[in-house]
A and B are shown apart, each in its own frame.
Chain A
Amino acid sequence: MMTEEKRIEWLLELQDHPEQMTEEQLQQILSDDEMRLLVQQLGLAKRAFKHDELKNVTTEVDAEWEKFAACHAEELDALDERERRQVGDGTSGIHKPRFVLRLATHKIAASFIGVLLASGIAFAAIQVVRNINTPKPQQPTTEQTTDIDPVTSLPADTVQADTIPVEPYIFNNVPLDSMLTAIATAHGVGVEFENEAARHLRFHFVWKREDSLSRVVEKLNTFEAVNIGMEDKTLVVK
């Protein structure tokens, strides 16, 4: 019989390397009632953390509606048409202008989406070119050693003689969301996304932890898709 402590240790270890198990082995591990319960309880805890986090997040409902309306324009127009017919000929005159107006808003929405799509493709193309130009390292550790050398020449006033250099951390194709959370946590500040879309932008970024927060932000701002400001102990992504 496995002790509680051992079980938790084991779970943490397995979760760090799930690829080392076959599906059958995993099924077998989870057939243990206690283990299964532990995973379920932690699953609920994860949901609770997420639920808590979402209280401070606002959703752009109007924008989502516009997207939905544009995707389902035909069905929505059919509903309009039906409503109009149900009201009858006598009143249809009142509804017609509204219908036309909606068609016009669809066109506006559709053209907006077109523009967004085009800029999205352009951005993706830039990303692809950038990725090609900066080949991904197979082994982050090997890159660390090769990367450090050229950049150790930090301004003399920022590095004290007795400081032990900290190895830089490499974010390889990591969403801005995760990256900033990690950086902000290390500097004891918060993160706020005014620009929700920026959360999912992925970057390759070498984080030198001896850099001051303002220096890190300055470096991140060199990515043209990113605009981060510092407001009252919070990093704000605009």
Chain B
Amino acid sequence: MARKEMTNERAQSDARINSAERGGIGRSQIESLFKTHYTQMYHLALTLLFDEAESKDVVSDVFASLLSGKVVMKADNAKAFLLASVHHRCLNVLQHKQVHERFARLLTEDTDTLVCDNTVEEQLQMEELMCYVRDNLSPMEQNVFRLRYLREMTCQEVAEALNVSRQTVHAHLKQSVEKIRTYFNSNSKAI
């Protein structure tokens, strides 16, 4: 359903449809949609782009397109539609980034693997992985992974921040990566 709406969004960018003719949404509905779904939409964008300003822009753009009447949304699946729109726009932003940046920052490398519109399933997958991380990675390994990839510090910076040698950071990071790799291999998690 969500996929269908998403293709709708693409197709309608040139074939503008006046939402008023279809009994379009009013200000109060926009406000209520915004306040109900903003957090989830913003968080989804953040887990793809890892940049607060870019993520806010994406969510804002989705609501702006609703306002402009370029996109028509059915009220019965508002949440799925809004999340799919965020997903789609984030992938567009990612596609325009340099391969280097995507590689160094571990941004979703191949957009083909991420057309999964089912954000609920994706979130379950991430929560399952985090359960494994909490059970199998030491607090230090988790910390090093967090500083290196989420805070985007270099190994040298992590080493200096934690007051350990660069080799120690490297060893912890390698351990974390190996364990994460084991998780995917043992569960044969297709991504």
Q: How many residues of B contact A (CB 8 A)?
A: 66
Complex interface: stretch among A62-70, A116-124, A157-165: A62-70
Query: Contacts of A186 on B, CB cut-off 8 Å?
Result: 161-163
Q: Chain A residues near B100: list those with CB within 8 A.
A: 18-19, 21, 23, 26
Chain B nearest Cβ from A21, distance in angstroms: 8
Q: Contact check: which of A18, A49, A61, A76 meets B150 at CB < 8 Å?
A: A49
The reply to whether the CB of B16 lies closer than 8 angstroms to some CB of chain A is no
Q: Does A47 contact B (CB under 8 A)?
A: yes
Contact across chains for B133 and A48 when beta carbons are under 8 A apart? yes
B42 touches A59 (CB 8 A): yes
Least CB distance, B111 to chain A, in whole angstroms = 11
Interface of A is mostly: helix
Interface string of A12-56 (1 = CB under 8 A from B): 101110110101001100100000101111111111111111100
A139 within 8 Å of B by Cβ?
Answer: no
Instruction: Give a binary string over B89-132; 1 marks a CB under 8 Å from any A CB, 0 the rest.
Output: 00000000011100110111110010000000001011101100
B129 in contact with A50 (CB, 8 Å): no
Alpha-carbon separation in the docked complex, A52 to B137 (Å): 15
Chain B residue at minimal CB-CB distance from A14: B103
Q: A42-B106, A61-B38, A186-B163 are in contact. Are A16 and B154 (CB under 8 A)?
A: yes
Contacts of A23 in B (CB 8 A): 98-100
With A51-B47, A51-B127 known to touch, is A43 a contact of B38 (CB < 8 Å)? no
A8 CB–B CB distance under 8 Å: yes
Count of CB-CB pairs between chains A and B under 8 Å: 173
Q: Is B103's CB under 8 angstroms from A30's CB?
A: yes
Within 8 A of B (CB), among A136-187: 166, 169, 177-178, 181-183, 185-186
A68 touches B60 (CB 8 A): yes
Compute how far the CA of A71 lies from the CA of B38 in the bound complex, rounded to whole angstroms.
16
For window 151-173 of B, CB contacts with A under 8 Å fall at 151-155, 157, 160-163, 170, 173
Query: Contacts A19-B100, A40-B110: A47 and B48 contacting too (C-beta < 8 A)?
Result: yes
Query: Closest CB of chain A to B69's CB: distance in Å?
Result: 9
16 A-B pairs with C-beta separation under 8 A: A4-B178, A4-B181, A18-B103, A23-B100, A41-B180, A41-B184, A43-B109, A49-B149, A61-B34, A64-B34, A65-B35, A65-B38, A68-B63, A69-B31, A72-B64, A72-B67
**Residues of A bordering B, CB below 8 Å:** 4-5, 8-9, 11-12, 14-16, 18-19, 21, 23, 26-27, 30, 36, 38-54, 59, 61-62, 64-65, 68-69, 71-72, 75-76, 79-80, 82-83, 102, 166, 169, 177-178, 181-183, 185-186, 199-200, 209
* B interface with A by C-beta (< 8 Å): 20, 25-27, 30-31, 34-35, 38-39, 42-43, 46-48, 50, 52, 56, 60, 63-64, 67-68, 98-100, 103-104, 106-110, 113, 123, 125-127, 129-130, 133, 143, 145-147, 149-155, 157, 160-163, 170, 173-174, 177-178, 180-181, 184, 191
Task: Give the 3 A-B residue pairs with the shortest CB-CB distance, closest first.
Answer: A182-B161, A48-B126, A18-B104
